[in-house]
Structure 1
Amino acid sequence: MKKIALLFLLNAGLFSGASKAFAQNYVLDKTIALPGNGGYDYVFIDQPNHTLYASHGTEVNVVDLKTETLKGTIGDMKGVHGIAIDNELNKGFISDGKADEVIVFDIKTLAVITRIPLDHKGADAIIFDSYSKKIFTFNGHSSSSCVIDPVSMKQIASIDMGGAPEFAVADGKGTIYNNLEDKSSLNVIDTKTLKVSKNYNLSPCGGPTGIAMDKENQKLFTVCRENKSLSVVDIPTGKVIQTLPIGAGVDAVVYDPAQKILVASNGDGTASIFKQDTPGNYSTVQTLATQYRAKTMAIDLDTHKLYFPVADYETGNKTMKPGTFKLLVYRQQ
C-alpha cells in the first residue's frame, strides 16, 4: 500500500507540474530597439536560422535571435509588408506593395539580388510553399495572388482570389489556406493546379485577418476584427467549431504546437492567449498587456518567446513618435 500511495503521489506531482507548465503566463522579458521610422506590418521568424525579420516602412530590420540584437537592415524599398524565406536556395523574398514588386535578397549577406515586377497591385502577405517550392504573394488591392518561381526569380502565374486576401498558411502538402477579409471567408488553394479549389464561409467571423494552423489535428485558427473573435475551423469540413472572444484591432495569430497554445495580437494593447483542452476545444489562460497597436507578432518555436513590433504614439492620436520603433519580447514565467 505504501508503494502504491507513493506512486500515486509521484504521478499526481508529475501531472500537477505538467499542468502548471502548460498554463504558464507570459511576462515582459525585454525590448529590442530598432532603427528607422515609418509604419510596420508583418514580423517573420526563420526558425532554422534563428533570425527575425520585421517589416518597417521602406526597410526590413533583421534580428539575430540567439543574441537578440540587430543583425542588419534591408532598405531602399517603397512600402514593405511581408517576408518569406526559401532556405534551400538561401533566398529571402519581401513584398513591396507600393512598388508592386517582390525584392529578393541573400539571407546570409542580406544583399539584394533582384527585384521582381508583379502584374497585380498591392502585394501584402507573402509565403513560401514547401510543397510546390513557389512563393505566393496575396494582393489586397487586386483580389489576387502572384506566383513566383524562386529559382528563375520571375512571376509565373496569378490566381484570382475572388476577394481581398489577408494572411495565408501552407500545410506543406500542396494546400494553402487564405483569409478573404472583405468576404469573411476562407480560400483553399491547390498549389498543384494554382487555383482556388474551395471557399469556406467563416460566419460568425467578420473581417478575418491572421491565420495559423494545427497540422497534427487539422485545425485552422482565424482571427476576426469585426466581431473581435478567434474562430477554430475544422479543416476536413470547413466548419467553424468554436468562437473565442479576443481584443479589438486584431491582426495576427500564432499557434505553438509543443505548448498547444494560441496567441492573438490585438491593436488595443492586449494579446489573447488560449490553451488547447482538446483538439476541438480551447479556453482562455491569459490576457497579456502589450502596447497600443502591437497588432502583429511572431513566436520562436524553440524558446516559445513572443515578439511584437511596435512604436510609441502621441497621446490621443495615431501619430508615431520618431525613433521609437522596437520589439517587445515576452517569455514564459
Structure 2
Amino acid sequence: MKNLLLTAPLACLLAGGPARAQTPPVGAAAPAPYHLLSTVAIGGEGGWDYLSVDPAGERLYVSHGTQVEVVDLSTHKVIGTIPNTPGVHGIEVVPAAGRGYITCGRNNTCVVFDLKTLQPIGAPIATGPKPDALLYDAFSKRVFLFSNDGGKSTVLDGATGTVVGTADLAGDVEAPATDGKGTLFVNIEDKSEVIALDANTLAVKSRHALAPGKEPTGLGYDPKTNRLFSACANEKLVVTDSKTGRQVAVLPIGKGTDGAVFDPSTGNVITSNGASGTFTVIHQDSPSKYRVVGEVPTARGARTIARDPKTHHLFTCTADYGPVPAPTADNPRPRPSIVPGTFRVLEYGR
C-alpha cells in the first residue's frame, strides 16, 4: 500500500511528537496479511477471555466460563479440561516447574495445576480483587497475578506457588509484557497509562500517559526496538518507547479490542477487535514508522489473541450470539446471549 502522507508524520517525528496513522489511497486494496487456517469446535456454554500458547508442550489453553479447555496444537483436538475455575481469565505455564497458573476473577483465587495430569496442585491461592491477566517472568522466576480492581497485584514464586509479595500499581491492570531483564510493562486501564515495574523489588519505576489512547487493554512488546504497543478501547493503538516513555505513533484499530501481539518474524503488530470482528494488522517499517496494512475478518466476539512463537500462527476464540435479554434493575445493560454449543477457536496464518 502506498503512503500519501509522508511529510506530516516526518515533521511530527522531528518535532519529538507521535506520528499519526498513514492513510491508504482511495480505492487501494491489499491482500489480507493472514487467513483462516482451521477452526477447533469446542462447544459447551459460558463466556471466554484469554488464550495462552505453550510452545514447549504444543498446547493451547483457552479460558471458557468456569473451566479451561486444553487443545493439542498438533492434532487440533481438545485433549482435556481443567474444571473449577470460576470466572477464569488468564492461563500461564511454567514448564520448568511442571505447573500452570489460572486466574479466577469470580472468587479472587489462582488455581495451580499439573501440566502432565491437568489436576490441581493444592488448594486455590487467595489473590487481590478481580485477578485478570497474569505473566510468568523467567528472569525473576515469578508469576504476577494482575488485579483489575484496586491496584493490588499478587506475586508468586513460579516454582512453588508461594506468595512472595504484593505490587501496588495504583490502578486497574490489564495486559502485561516483560523485557526478560527484570522489568515488566503493564497497561493501567482506568488511568490510561502504561507503567514499568521492577520484577524483583515490585516498585513502579515509571508511568507514562497514553492519551489520546483511552482504556488500554492488550499490550504487545518488541524488545529489539524497545517499543510497547497499547491497544485502547477508543480504537487507537499507541506506540511508546519503553525506555523513555516517548510516544512514537498513534494508529487506528478496530472496535472492542482486548488483545495485541507483536511478531518479530514479520514486524507486524496485530490487535484483536471483538466488536468489529477483525484483526487490525500494523507493520513496523522502522522503530519510528508504522502503517496499517490490513483488516483481517475474524468473527464477532473474537476480542483476545495469542501467538505461537514457533509457527507464528494467531489464535482467537468466539461463539455465536443470540438475542439480548431484557434489562433488569440488577443488569440494566445486558450482553447478548451466547448460543450453547457454538464456542470455537480460530487459527490464522500467513
Q: Paired residue for 2:126? A: 118
Matching residue within 181, 189, 192 for 1:184: 192
* Structure 1 residue 115 displacement after superposition: 3.1
* Structure 1 residue 118 displacement after superposition: 2.2
Instruction: Report the TM-score when normalising by structure 2.
Output: 0.85
* Structure 1 residue 235 displacement after superposition: 1.2
Q: Deviations over 1:200-244 (max 9, x none)?
A: 111111110010110111111110002x11111111111111001
1:157 aligns to 2:165 (yes or no): yes
Query: Do 1:118 and 1:155's aligned partners in 2 also have CA atoms closer than 8 Å?
Result: no
SS at match of 1:25: coil
1:72-83 equivalences in 2 (<5 Å)? 72-83=80-91
1:325 aligns to 2:333 (yes or no): no
* Structure 1 residue 24 displacement after superposition: 6.6
Distance in 2 (CA, whole Å) between partners of 1:147 and 1:115 is 17
SS at match of 2:269: strand
1:200 aligns to 2:218 (yes or no): no
Q: Paired residue for 2:263? A: 256
Distance in 2 (CA, whole Å) between partners of 1:179 and 1:75 is 29
Q: Paired residue for 1:168? A: 176
* Structure 1 residue 114 displacement after superposition: 2.1
SS at match of 1:209: strand
1:229 aligns to 2:236 (yes or no): yes
Structure 2: 5+ residue stretches without partners? 1-30, 325-334
* Structure 1 residue 66 displacement after superposition: 1.3
1:243 aligns to 2:250 (yes or no): yes
Distance in 1 (CA, whole Å) between partners of 2:101 and 2:125 is 12
Distance in 1 (CA, whole Å) between partners of 2:35 and 2:319 is 19
Query: Do 2:239 and 2:249's aligned partners in 1 also have CA atoms closer than 8 Å?
Result: yes
Residue identity in the other structure for 2:272: S
Distance in 1 (CA, whole Å) between partners of 2:131 and 2:160 is 19
With CA pairs under 8 Å and 6+ residues apart, which has the higher RCO, 1 or 2? 2
1:97-112 equivalences in 2 (<5 Å)? 97-112=105-120
Matching residue within 46, 62, 84 for 2:92: 84
Seen in structure 2, the aligned counterparts of structure 1 residues 318 and 223 have a Cα distance that, compared at 3 Å, is: same
SS at match of 2:153: strand
Structure 1: 5+ residue stretches without partners? 1-22
Residue identity in the other structure for 1:27: H
Runs of 4+ residues deviating >6 angstroms: none
Count residues in correspondence. 310
- Among the aligned pairs, what percent are the same residue? 38
SS at match of 2:106: coil
Seen in structure 2, the aligned counterparts of structure 1 residues 115 and 195 have a Cα distance that, compared at 3 Å, is: farther
SS at match of 1:104: strand
Q: Paired residue for 1:15? A: none
Query: Do 2:110 and 2:127's aligned partners in 1 also have CA atoms closer than 8 Å?
Result: no
Distance in 2 (CA, whole Å) between partners of 1:315 and 1:261 is 36
Query: Do 2:127 and 2:153's aligned partners in 1 also have CA atoms closer than 8 Å?
Result: no
